[in-house]
Structure 1
Amino acid sequence: MKHLLFLCHRIPFPPNKGDKIRSFNMLKKLSENYIVHLAAFVDDPDDWQHKIKLEKYCASVCLVNLNKKLATIKSAIGLISNRPLTLPYFYSAQIAEFTDNVLSTHNNANIFVFSSSMGQYVDGEKHSHLKRVIDFVDVDSDKWLQYSKKKSWPMNWVYRREAALLEKEELRLAANFDKSLFVSPQEASYFEELVPQKLRNKIGFVLNGVDTKYFSASFYNKLEEEQPFLAFTGAMDYWANVDAVVWFVKKVWPQLTVAYPNLKFYIVGGNPTDEVNALEAVDGIVVTGRVDDVRPYIKGASLCIAPMRIARGIQNKVLEAMAMGKPMVLTSMAADGILIPKEQQKYITDTADSFCESIIDILSSENKQAVIGKANIAVIEQNFEWKSTLDSLLNSFDIQKNNKNTASG
């Protein structure tokens, strides 16, 4: 089997948040076809225990602690070097040394990079003879631009600057790498419009998927609540998720509880910010913090919501709820890149009034909930199972050709 260097900005285990779900499933698939050497940052102390899990899939593992405060100070270097702040934030001499050792020992290895911030380790002419594939996942530069519109000076200037410089970095990496992947055809098409025509044949996508055995409508355990409740799942220190739930509680919840005064709303996810924790002061709002398993909350909810106002790519929270047969009310940004069945489509909305009306409409009929849930399951099973979505990842490396030539580096 051929060797492969896998560079990732966050440890790809446990698969409990969006990017880690995607990176872990990619790692798992690639390990079936390559001898994998992994380098990644660890930004959560609880994740160090999982190194042993990764060794099941990798021949060697290099994990480096990411001290967020120190990394933020380092990122300031970007302000004086005209580089994206993201690059010094995710630079490690230890990962650079690991990368050089792997590629000098296995000089015919392939390279897979997860997220633009990790391209800096292998983007030069030195490695141009190797097959290099990068998964941008989303067009991150556009997310920074979205962030800038939500902030006041001086942070809006910092975020606009990051958006502009990161877009240049994304275009440079796309020119240097053999294949650039994104999370959906829509995201890939958006990026194609940014690159020169000659590079567009190097742009592709790998859809996010769902472990439908794990996120199953037949899952037996559910959170028992006397009153109906809504659920939102996601990492609650991620700004887009924070923005979503704060908007919902401030703009939708007051009018919703006029119709359903005993309704509850569960915000399910680790590391809630102070702003999220403060929402528990509102009647009916429950902030769980980190939970061992989100499925009982999804299973027990009358419906799940995804009121995203900042987003790119595919939302795993939407795929997981759909896989478990839950109806949803979601914004157009949360629905982007996902095949939404016609039964669910009428509940895509971006205004507070319509969001409230959609929830009330679904809550009013258990039969309606069942019909939407059944349609959602069918879409997931037909289009978003990992075993089928990852085929395009292997094709990006010409895996069949590599298997015929089994000489290792």
Structure 2
Amino acid sequence: MNHEVSSLGERGVVLTPDGTTVAVGHLIAGIEAGLKRKVEHWSDVAGDRPVTVDNLYALTLAKDLGVAFVAHHLNRSQGLLGPDGCWDNVTSPQVFTGTGSWSLATNALINGGMDGFILGDLLTELRAPLPKLSSVLRDYYGEVQGQLGLKANSRRENFEAKVDLGNFTNEIVSAVYLYDHNRTDSILQHLDYNIFREISEQGVKQFRYNYLVCPPIIPRCMWGAKPYKGTPVTLALPLRYVYIHHTYEPSRPCTNFQDCAADMRSMQRFHQDDRQWDDIGYNFVTGSDGYLYEGRGWLWLGAHTKGQNSKGYGVSFIGNYTSELPDQAAMELVKENFMRCAVIGKKIVSDYAVQGHRQHGETTCPGEMLFNEIKTWEAFKEVGQVNRTTEE
């Protein structure tokens, strides 16, 4: 229940069935806060500024985000947000270790805080008799749609729909002032109110980009990727193109983490062993489980669209889309979240072009139905159309 991050790993977290890692304490705190939800007003915490604290915000994310923002401001060697991480064993997980510069607000903490806020907010509205906690968690984290109507793989959309983002900075500032009040080791004693507020505003901006704009991505280590063979070639960013593919084989969409992870391993084996490539060819792969899966990722040159690999990202949908379309949510994940995330993060240019694999080779990929769909996307361009537009 106690979340802790150190050089030894991250404790107080669990691997959920959807393939993400969640801080248990923040999840349970949100559920309890929802059942006892209240808004408190304090007048003696931040000097002459009254403080209003919603306990559901404070106990799930607001306090911890604010403390993490301050810690980063005071010590820049500490990350602002994140990182994600890897388990020592996905089937029997015991130790979870971050994969980058760690923050006090790791991905696991934020996932748990989002889930706690979503479920706490839901329980605020429910009338007796309330469901058992085990039923709530089974409904939320299980694959089958339950009575709640909410699933963990849609936590980002559900959190954005429930949270008052316009007031989020206020909740963070208020929660930290209340937390800091009467502490002997005050973290705010050397920070002016306006500076702290500015720090919080910048932190919220980054939080929104990382966790609400960008799609959730399952890292390589979580789907069991083998190492890259040889030395990866770094892409020269920003790129101009996104090339859409379908896997064809596996031919069926995957709808849960275990199946999608198995499909990723299968494709990597085929690309590395049969085709003798250095790695799985795609930069990213989209399942029908609510997640993108990291292939070669944002930085490494892929092997997906012959003659074009240095110009754009290869993004594939798991399944055969010759006569049917991918899940609508999966298409939105690529069309909206992935593209917007890549533009804001300066991974692709703002006037990027979307093209199908078949436009650059003798192939039917990404399937007739999917190709006809992407032709309706605003960013779709015929071959040569991008260059003519640029020259004009």
Q: TM-score, with normalisation over the residues of structure 1? A: 0.28
Q: Which structure dedicates a bigger proportion of its chain to helix?
A: 1
